[in-house]
Amino acid sequence: MRVVKKKQAEQYWDIAMAIAFTCGPFGFGVPIKYACISWVAAWLAITHLLWNLEALSHVDRGIKVTFIVLLTVLLVWVSYPPIHAAYYREKSGAMSGDLETVVNDGKDHTSDPPRLQIGTSGVIFRWDKDPPVEYANYSDPIKVERVNGQVLLTMKLRDQDTGNVIVSIDKNHWMVSKALSWDKNYNDDTLEVKDAKERVILQIRVLPNAVQVQAEFQQGRGDVNGGGLIQQGYYDRKKGFKSLFIYPSELHWAEIADPKQPW
């Protein structure tokens, strides 16, 4: 009798755990990766319940294992599309993130001075010799530094009409204003931002030895484009910079327009 009650208690516990871990992510709105961890825990509770069901006690262990494996494969097959879609929406909708070096050239750059390069033009500012890039009349200072071997960028880009910040980068942590930007797209090492007029006004890519930047700065409120960090042939006054990514980001998050020429 005591054994039966113990089994019933375990079953009730498995059911409670399965319900809690399945429904919890919906109630708290956690990021999708944590939701997946919660759902895996729920499935483990369910498989434990199935394994110990009295009705299946006479079934061979091998058959049980096969049954649970097949159920798991079916569950993954059914759940992957909506989970992938949710992950896409979450990533494309993010208004902040962090840039980090992805490309590995096999060299040690820990002792190299931090560098800023205008696109892929070869025009480079070195922070051990050149002064920080500043557009004192119409923008904020730009700073590049190396911390623990990582090249870090700090800068801001403002709206020409209001002077408000469209995008802010603080040591590679970026934040984009939803009110002042039309869209943005990004991946681990690259960020691109469109202003409210759908013009690409900022492109950043972090490399092991430098950070590549193209940025359009505004002269002042109501004025025309004031200048910026511009690579020849990649900029148009009406359209801004040539897009690196495909838009809208909601449908094409992290998709490069031309993989053979990512910049």
- Percent above pLDDT 70 for the chain: 81
pLDDT score at 247: 95
Q: Choose the most confident range, by mean pLDDT, from 46-60, 138-152, 171-185.
A: 171-185
DSSP letter at 189?
S
Are 182 and 195 spatial neighbours (Cβ–Cβ below 8 Å)? yes
What length does the chain have? 263
Nearest 5°: the CA angle 243, 253, 235 is 10
205 in the same domain as 143: yes
The pTM assigned to this predicted structure is: 0.78
- By C-alpha distance, which of 255, 235, 239 is closest to 247? 255
Residues facing residue 165 across a β-bridge? 158
The residue among 67, 93, 119 that closes a domain is: 93
- Residue 54 forms part of a structural domain: yes
Residues 144 and 53 in one domain: no
Phi and psi (nearest 5°) for 164?
-75, 155
* Same-domain status, 193 and 235: yes
**86 and 127, same structural domain?**
no
Read off the pLDDT band of 104 (50, 70, 90): confident
pLDDT value at residue 224: 45
| Tally of structural domains, the chain | 2
Asked if 144 and 84 sit in the same domain, the reply is: no
Evaluated on CA atoms 253, 167, 113, 124, the torsion sign reads: positive
Q: Are residues 104 and 222 in the same domain?
A: yes
Domain boundary residue among 61, 93, 125? 93
User: Do residue 85 and residue 199 come from a single domain?
Assistant: no
What's the chain's average pLDDT?
82
Identify whether residues 65 and 175 lie together within a single domain. no
Residue 257 lies in a domain: no
| C-alpha to C-alpha distance for 140 and 230, rounded to whole angstroms | 16
What is the span of the domain harbouring residue 37? Answer: 2-93
pLDDT tens digits for 142-178? 888 888 888 999 999 988 778 889 999 999 999 999 9
Same domain, 116 and 219: yes
| Domain final position from 93, 119, 151 | 93
